C-alpha cells in the first residue's frame, strides 16, 4: 500500500490531491446520468408516442427510483462490497444500460433505464462517501472539498444535459450522423463517457490508500473477518434480479406510489435498528443526520420545480431578453452554469471564514440554504411585475431567481454530503449517504405533486392568468422555504448538542 490513511488526510493546502480524480470520475458519471435524463421525456414523447402527462409521470418515477436505489447501493457497500467495488459494479451496470439503449432505444427503452437506475444506486452515494474519507473527521476544509466536487457534478450535468439530447435531436453533428442513428449514438455517447469514468477510477484507486476497500480486506483500517465470496456474488446476482422488477415498476407509474410509501418507513426502521447497536454519542449524531435528511426533502420538493412547473412556465411565460437564449435552455442549465463558477468560490469563502473563526456551522448553512431558496422563489413571484398583457415576462429577471436559488443549493447540497460523512459511524457511511439521496427521491416525488397542483389550478385559464397562478404558487413556496430556514436556525442549539464535536 503506497499511502497510509494518515498521509492522505494530513495533506497540505486547501484540497487533497485525490479529490481531483474523484471529481473527474463523478463528472463523467453525471454526464452519463444527466445526458440520459435529459433525453427521457423528449424521447418518450417524440419517439415512443407517449402522452405528455404519461411521459412526465414516467420521468418522475425514474427519478424517484434512481435516488431510492442509492440507499440499497450504500447499504451493500457498507456491509459487503466496500465503496470501490460498489462504484465499479454500478458503473458497469450504467454502461450496460446505456449500451442497451444505444442498441435499440425504442425496443429496449425500459430495460436500459432499469439498468441505469440500479447502476446509479451503486455508484452515486459511494463516490461521495470516498470524498468524505479524504478528510479527518473534524477537518474544517471538508465543506470546501465537497463544494469543489459539486462543481464537477454540475460540469458533467451541464455537458451531458446539453450534448446528448442535441445529438439525438440532430441539432449537433447532423451532417455526419445519419438520422436513423442519432438516438442510438446519443445513448451510446453516455456509455462511452461512463467507460472514461471507470478508467479514470482505476488510476485513482492507486492513490486512495485504504479508502473504499471491501470490509474484511487485510489493509482496511477497520479490522474484520473477510467477506465470503458467495456474499459478494450474491449482491451482484440480487442487483440483476432487481432490474426486471424496476423495469415493471417504472413502466407502470402507479407502483411508484406504493414503492415510495414503503421504502421510506422501511429504511427508517432499519436505521433505528442500526441505532440500537451504536454508542449513545454516535446515536445522537445519527439523529442529527436524520434532521438534515428530513429537512432536505422539503428543500428538494421546492427546488425540483425546475424540471416540472418551471419548465412549463419557461416555455409559456418567458421572453428571450437574455442574449436571445431559449428560456427552457436557461431553466435547464442555468443553475449548473452558476454552480460551476460559484461552488469553488463559496468553498474558498468557507475556508476564509473559518480562518477568522466566523464560519457558520452546518445548521446555519442549511438555514441559509432555505432562506436563499425562499428568496429565489420570491424573485420568481416578482417576475409578474414585468409581464405584458399576454402573460410574457422577463427571462433576465427569471435568471436572477435561478442565481439566488443556486446560492441556496450551494449552502445545502454539498454541505449535506459533507455532514453525512461526518455524522455517520464508520460502518454506516454508505447507508447514511444513501439516505441523504433517498430524501432527494422524496423531494422529487413531492415536487411532482406540487407541480401537478399548480398545473390543475391554472387549467383552462389565459396565459396571463396562468402566470398569476404560477407566481402565486411560487410566493407560497418561497414563504415555506423561509419559514423552514428560520426554524432550522431556531432549533440550531438542539441540533448542535446532538452533533457534539462535529461542526
- List interacting residues with ligand GLN (CB under 6 A): 30, 153, 300, 413, 437, 440
Kindly tell me which of 383 and 440 has the beta carbon lying closer to ligand GLN. 440
Q: How far is the CB of 160 from ligand GLN (least distance, A)?
A: 11
Kindly tell me which of 30 and 141 has the beta carbon lying closer to ligand GLN. 30
Kindly tell me which of 131 and 153 has the beta carbon lying closer to ligand GLN. 153
Kindly tell me which of 80 and 484 has the beta carbon lying closer to ligand GLN. 484
Q: Each residue of 128-148: b (16+ CB within 10 Å) or e? A: bbbbbbbbeeebebbbbbbbb
Tell me if residue 315 falls in helix, strand or coil.
helix
DSSP string of 323-374?
Answer: TT--HHHHHHHHHHHHHHHHHHHHHHHHHHHHHTT----HHHHHHHHHHHHH
Kindly tell me which of 133 and 413 has the beta carbon lying closer to ligand GLN. 413
Q: How far is the CB of 169 from ligand GLN (least distance, A)?
A: 23
Question: Computed over its alpha carbons, how large is the radius of gyration of the chain?
Answer: 22
Q: How far is the CB of 335 from ligand GLN (least distance, A)?
A: 8
Kindly tell me which of 8 and 32 has the beta carbon lying closer to ligand GLN. 32
Kindly tell me which of 30 and 182 has the beta carbon lying closer to ligand GLN. 30
Q: How far is the CB of 469 from ligand GLN (least distance, A)?
A: 26
Q: How far is the CB of 345 from ligand GLN (least distance, A)?
A: 18
β-bridge mates for residue 393, sequence order: 318
Q: How far is the CB of 58 from ligand GLN (least distance, A)?
A: 19
At 155, list the grid cell: 460540469
Kindly tell me which of 21 and 413 has the beta carbon lying closer to ligand GLN. 413
CA distances from 102 to 167, 192, 450 (A): 13, 11, 34
The torsion angles phi and psi of 393, rounded to 5 degrees, stand at -125, -175
114 Cβ neighbours under 8 A, 6+ residues apart: 97, 242, 243, 244, 246, 247, 250
Residue 207: enclosing H or E segment and its boundaries?
none
Kindly tell me which of 128 and 399 has the beta carbon lying closer to ligand GLN. 128
Q: How far is the CB of 374 from ligand GLN (least distance, A)?
A: 18
Tell me if residue 139 falls in helix, strand or coil.
coil
Per 3-state DSSP, what percentage of the chain is helix, strand, and coil (rounded to 5)?
Answer: 80, 0, 20
Q: How far is the CB of 338 from ligand GLN (least distance, A)?
A: 12
At 60, list the grid cell: 418522475
Residue 261: enclosing H or E segment and its boundaries?
helix 254-275
CA distances from 142 to 112, 161, 338, 418, 431 (A): 36, 28, 21, 7, 20
From its phi and psi, is residue 132 left (phi > 0), alpha (psi between -120 and 50) or beta?
Answer: alpha
Kindly tell me which of 398 and 437 has the beta carbon lying closer to ligand GLN. 437
Q: How far is the CB of 486 from ligand GLN (least distance, A)?
A: 23
Dist. CA 375–CA 299, nearest whole Å: 13
Kindly tell me which of 73 and 209 has the beta carbon lying closer to ligand GLN. 73
446 Cβ neighbours under 8 A, 6+ residues apart: 297, 298, 300, 301, 304
**Cβ of 75: how many Cβ atoms within 10 Å?**
23
Q: How far is the CB of 210 from ligand GLN (least distance, A)?
A: 26
At 357, list the grid cell: 473563526
Confirm if 244 and 117 have CB atoms less than 8 A apart: no
Minimal CB distance to ligand GLN: which residue?
440
Q: How far is the CB of 244 from ligand GLN (least distance, A)?
A: 26
The torsion angles phi and psi of 308, rounded to 5 degrees, stand at -110, -100
Kindly tell me which of 414 and 478 has the beta carbon lying closer to ligand GLN. 414
At 288, list the grid cell: 442529527
Amino acid at each position: 500500500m503506497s499511502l497510509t490513511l494518515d498521509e492522505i488526510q494530513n495533506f497540505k493546502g486547501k484540497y487533497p490531491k485525490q479529490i481531483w480524480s474523484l471529481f473527474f470520475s463523478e463528472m463523467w458519471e453525471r454526464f452519463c446520468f444527466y445526458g440520459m435524463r435529459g433525453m427521457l421525456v423528449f424521447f418518450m414523447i417524440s419517439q415512443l408516442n407517449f402522452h405528455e402527462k404519461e411521459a412526465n409521470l414516467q420521468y418522475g418515477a425514474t427519478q424517484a427510483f434512481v435516488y431510492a436505489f442509492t440507499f440499497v447501493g450504500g447499504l451493500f457497500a457498507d456491509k459487503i462490497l466496500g465503496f470501490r467495488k460498489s462504484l465499479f459494479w454500478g458503473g458497469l451496470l450504467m454502461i450496460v444500460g446505456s449500451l442497451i439503449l444505444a442498441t435499440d432505444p425504442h425496443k429496449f427503452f425500459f430495460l436500459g433505464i432499469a439498468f441505469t437506475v440500479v447502476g446509479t444506486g451503486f455508484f452515486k452515494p459511494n463516490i461521495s462517501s470516498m470524498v468524505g474519507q479524504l478528510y479527518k473527521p473534524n477537518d474544517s476544509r471538508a465543506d470546501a472539498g465537497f463544494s469543489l466536487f459539486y462543481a464537477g457534478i454540475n460540469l458533467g450535468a451541464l455537458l451531458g444535459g446539453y450534448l446528448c439530447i442535441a445529438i439525438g435531436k440532430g441539432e449537433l453533428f447532423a451532417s455526419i450522423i445519419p438520422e436513423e442513428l442519432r438516438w442510438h449514438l446519443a445513448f451510446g455517447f453516455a456509455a462511452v463517457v461512463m467507460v472514461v469514468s471507470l478508467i479514470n477510477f482505476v488510476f485513482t484507486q492507486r492513490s486512495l490508500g485504504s479508502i473504499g476497500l471491501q470490509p474484511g480486506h487485510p489493509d482496511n483500517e477497520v479490522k474484520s473477518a473477510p467477506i465470503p465470496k458467495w456474499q459478494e456474488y450474491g449482491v451482484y446476482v440480487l442487483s440483476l434480479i432487481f432490474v426486471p422488477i424496476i423495469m415493471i415498476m417504472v413502466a407502470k407509474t402507479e407502483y411508484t406510489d406504493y414503492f415510495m410509501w414503503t421504502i421510506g418507513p422501511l429504511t427508517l426502521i432499519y436505521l433505528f435498528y442500526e441505532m440500537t447497536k451504536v454508542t449513545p454519542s454516535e446515536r445522537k449524531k445519527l439523529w442529527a443526520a436524520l434532521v438534515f435528511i428530513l429537512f432536505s426533502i422539503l428543500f428538494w420538493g421546492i427546488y425540483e420545480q425546475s424540471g416540472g412547473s418551471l419548465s412549463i412556465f419557461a416555455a409559456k411565460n418567458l421572453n428571450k431578453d437574455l442574449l436571445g437564449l431559449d428560456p427552457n435552455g436557461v431553466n435547464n442549465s442555468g443553475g449548473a452554469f452558476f454552480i460551476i463558477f460559484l461552488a469553488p468560490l463559496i468553498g474558498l469563502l468557507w475556508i476564509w471564514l473559518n480562518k477568522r473563526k466566523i464560519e457558520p456551522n452546518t445548521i446555519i448553512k442549511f438555514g441559509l440554504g432555505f432562506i436563499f431558496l425562499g428568496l429565489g422563489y420570491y424573485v420568481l413571484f416578482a417576475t409578474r411585475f414585468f409581464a405584458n398583457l399576454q402573460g410574457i415576462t422577463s427571462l433576465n429577471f427569471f435568471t436572477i431567481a435561478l442565481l439566488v436559488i443556486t446560492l441556496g443549493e450551494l449552502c445545502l447540497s454539498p454541505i449535506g454530503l459533507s455532514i453525512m460523512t461526518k455524522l455517520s459511524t464508520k460502518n454506516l457511511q454508505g447507508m447514511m449517504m444513501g439516505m441523504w439521496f433517498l430524501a432527494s427521491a422524496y423531494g422529487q416525488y413531492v415536487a411532482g405533486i406540487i407541480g401537478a397542483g399548480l398545473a390543475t389550478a391554472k387549467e383552462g385559464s389565459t396565459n396571463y392568468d396562468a402566470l398569476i397562478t404560477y407566481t402565486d404558487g411560487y410566493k407560497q413556496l418561497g414563504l415555506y422555504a423561509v419559514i423552514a430556514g428560520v426554524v432550522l436556525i431556531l432549533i440550531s442549539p438542539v441540533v448542535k448538542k446532538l452533533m457534539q464535536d462535529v461542526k
